Amino acid sequence: MFMGPPGSGKGTQVRFLKEAHGWEHLATGDLFRDHLRLGTPLGRLAEEHMSKGHYVPDEVTVGMVRERLARIPASTRIVFDGFPRTVAQARALDELLGQHGRRVGCVVLLEVPREELLGRISTRGRSSARSDDSPEVLARRLEVYDERTRPVVEHYEKAGLLRRIEGVGGVDEIRARVAEVIA
């Protein structure tokens, strides 16, 4: 599982693991955007929250994850990207994984200073069409991360599953740190 604030590089590192190891990449942000692109009711609900910098309600997020987990073969390793984001989601994930004979093996937290995050997101926002990369929405996303996701970090730290990684440097440098932690 990969955690970190918006712009910390979770997606970049997870994509590498997917390609290098054939792991399934499960990112709730991608699930939300896919549902939005398809025009599903869940997608419209997710966009309503995402465009304001709010988290999508737990029951919607967990429902999407439940649906996706049911389609992943039990022999395939999964790497979560940006999920869970609340303690309620973490508890729901533990229950869902248990129903599928799975468990969380490791939680990687990419730590990046706020100034670096702002620069990264500003650059990404200029080159993408993501509605959640505007400066105003980013500021709110960082506030929400601090309020709601920090307790999830503490949850996994208490469980002895959390590994902290400095998320500053070149992509390959960070990738090497990740590889060392998950080995």
pLDDT at 19: 93
Active site residue 148: no
Segments in the chain below pLDDT 50? none
- Rounded Cα gap, residues 52 and 75, in angstroms: 38
Looking at the structure of the chain, the number of domains it has is 1
Nearest to 28 by CA among 7, 57, 52: 57
Active site residue 71: no
Active site residue 114: no
CATH number at residue 96: 3.40.50.300
- Rounded Cα gap, residues 106 and 156, in angstroms: 9
What predicted TM-score, i.e. pTM, was given to this entire model? 0.82
pLDDT tens for 26-68 read 998 889 888 889 998 878 888 888 788 787 899 889 988 998 9
Residue of 33, 85, 120, 177 with catalytic role: 85
pLDDT at 82: 81
Active site residue 141: yes
Measured in degrees and rounded to the nearest 5, phi and psi for residue 3 equal: -130, 160
**Ramachandran bin of 22, using left for φ above 0, alpha for ψ from -120 to 50, beta for the remaining angles:** left
- Rounded Cα gap, residues 115 and 89, in angstroms: 28
pLDDT at 163: 97
pLDDT at 128: 65
Residue of 130, 140, 163, 164 with catalytic role: 130
Residue of 10, 33, 120, 177 with catalytic role: 10
Residue of 33, 120, 141, 177 with catalytic role: 141
Domain span at residue 172 reads 2-182
Measured in degrees and rounded to the nearest 5, phi and psi for residue 7 equal: 90, 5
pLDDT at 28: 87
Nearest to 55 by CA among 119, 163, 146, 161: 146
- Rounded Cα gap, residues 82 and 10, in angstroms: 7
pLDDT at 65: 93
**What is the edge-to-edge ordering of all strands in the sheet holding 2-3?**
24-27, 78-81, 2-3, 107-111, 162-166
Residue of 124, 140, 148, 163 with catalytic role: 124
Residue 142 near residue 85 (C-beta atoms within 8 A):
no
Active site residue 52: no
pLDDT at 99: 92
